[in-house]
Structure 1
Amino acid sequence: MSKNIYLFATSKSKHARSIKSLDVRYLKPEIDFSKYDYLIVTSKQTVKALEQYNKEEFINIAALCVSDKTADSYRAIGGKILASGDGYGDNLIKNIRELPHVTKWLYLRAELIASSFVQIAKEEGYEIDEKILYISECSKEILEVRVEDDSTLIFTSPSSIECFLKNNTIHPNAKVIVIGTTTAAYLPKDIKYVISQNTSIESCIELAIEAK
């Protein structure tokens, strides 16, 4: 393990010092799943939150997933997959547009979201309901971490950057790797960064190892 690589994520890697960026608090709002044709699932946390419900109520409703990894998580609990995206929430709009406007979608989401695809879809006349299944808060770990100036920092979400910057600054000598363009937009304007080739932690780690 390289002590100079820091991974700010909800997942871990043996190649980095893994700093949990968020603590997740799950909610269980009342949902009548029978009203919907498809689910929209954009995180593994959504899948975990779904496990609070009677599986028979939703498991036969196919999900539009943000990425292959998220699709794998939904599939692992027995769910069906409508389609999986490229890791960018905003790009899911093209999948929604492939189906009639009368299709009834249920977007299962976090309290705070970075993507605007649902708002765009609604403005275009698509029927999408939303339910908040979890709330993410900055973890004590990321608020208290201190990193070396020349470290490689891997950010995997906008919230990982926002939480890190609450009590830290990004040193000019640091190497910064982000998982995608949405996350990159949350970096301070003067920070240089590299975007991973694929929207996956594995791809970010590969870049970090190459940069050593």
Structure 2
Amino acid sequence: MTQTDGMIYLLSPLPREGTRHLPMIRFSSLSSTIDLSTCDTLLFTSKQAVKSAEALNPEWKKYPCLAIGAATAKEIESLGGKVMYRPKSFYAQTLSQDIITQFQDKKILYLRPKEVSFDAKTFLAKAGIALQEQVIYETACIRYEKKEKPGKNAIIIFTSPSTIHCFLKNFAWDESYTAVVIGEATKVHLPAKVCYEVADRPTIDACILKAKQILLTSNSK
């Protein structure tokens, strides 16, 4: 990979126009099926969880869904599912608070990755709500050679805490870099003293727009 100053690097799994694609994570299934017999509502906090559910048991579409994030809700609907509720905020803690006030009578099954940034089950248990969970997939870091490290002054787009952890497993952070993070939950995983900006909305499109704004500003100096 050629090291080019001032390039925008996107670390999410899928490429986007106007960026250098440097995917950091791969997904793998951790289950052979999904048991839907004891729930009446599903909870999804990622697009990948919806894709994994579709591969494991297409019957999930018969259940109303709680969804975090526009991409998650869009994936549910594109596969024929129904989004029952989507919180205004894009964070699991906000949705958990909404469950306490609006959906505590529901039998909710959280189809989740192995690692999560917020422990919704413990949070809801304190309110007397028993959240069912099934871990259906996990993420693993993609390995890169040192020569593939982004060049000086690169803008690095982090779309999840996992992309931060995997990037730092591969490369030492360069002080000339600028990080663009998709939201507050991702921001807290950045190392100290990293120069960063948070996207105006928690979407990849907003991250790319923010990165282009930073690049434009730096080029005009």
Tell me how far 1:3 sits from its aligned partner.
6.8
Name the TM-score, length of structure 1 as normaliser: 0.91
Gaps of 5+ in 2: 216-221
Tell me how far 1:194 sits from its aligned partner.
0.7
- In structure 2, the CA distance between the partners of 1:100 and 1:137, relative to structure 1 (3 Å rule), is closer
Pairs within 5 Å for 1:1-212: 4-55=7-58, 57-85=59-87, 86-141=89-144, 145-212=148-215
Matches of 1:159 and 1:143 in 2, distance apart? 19
Q: Could you say what secondary structure the match of 1:98 adopts?
A: helix
Tell me how far 1:126 sits from its aligned partner.
0.9
For residues 95-149 of structure 1, give each alpha carbon's deviation from its aligned partner in whole angstroms, at most 9, with x where no partner exists.
2123353421100000111113332012211121110110100013598731112
Please tell me whether the aligned partners of residues 157 and 179 of structure 2 are also in contact (alpha carbons under 8 angstroms). yes
Please tell me whether the aligned partners of residues 24 and 136 of structure 1 are also in contact (alpha carbons under 8 angstroms). yes
Tell me how far 1:177 sits from its aligned partner.
0.7
Q: Percent identity?
A: 29
Please tell me whether the aligned partners of residues 158 and 182 of structure 2 are also in contact (alpha carbons under 8 angstroms). yes
Please tell me whether the aligned partners of residues 180 and 199 of structure 1 are also in contact (alpha carbons under 8 angstroms). yes
- In structure 2, the CA distance between the partners of 1:121 and 1:144, relative to structure 1 (3 Å rule), is farther
Please tell me whether the aligned partners of residues 42 and 67 of structure 1 are also in contact (alpha carbons under 8 angstroms). yes
Count residues with an aligned counterpart: 210
Match of 2:219 in 1: none
Matches of 2:156 and 2:24 in 1, distance apart? 12
Q: Could you say what secondary structure the match of 2:163 adopts?
A: helix
Please tell me whether the aligned partners of residues 20 and 142 of structure 1 are also in contact (alpha carbons under 8 angstroms). no
Q: Could you say what secondary structure the match of 2:201 adopts?
A: coil
- In structure 2, the CA distance between the partners of 1:142 and 1:61, relative to structure 1 (3 Å rule), is farther
Matches of 1:123 and 1:29 in 2, distance apart? 31
Matches of 2:193 and 2:57 in 1, distance apart? 48
Amino acid at match of 1:132: V
Matches of 1:77 and 1:63 in 2, distance apart? 12
Please identify, of 26-35 and 37-46, the stretch whose mean Cα deviation from structure 2 is larger. 26-35
Q: Could you say what secondary structure the match of 1:194 adopts?
A: strand
Tell me how far 1:45 sits from its aligned partner.
1.0
Please tell me whether the aligned partners of residues 27 and 49 of structure 1 are also in contact (alpha carbons under 8 angstroms). no
Amino acid at match of 1:152: I
Matches of 1:24 and 1:100 in 2, distance apart? 30
Matches of 2:15 and 2:171 in 1, distance apart? 21
Name the TM-score, length of structure 2 as normaliser: 0.88
Matches of 2:71 and 2:145 in 1, distance apart? 24
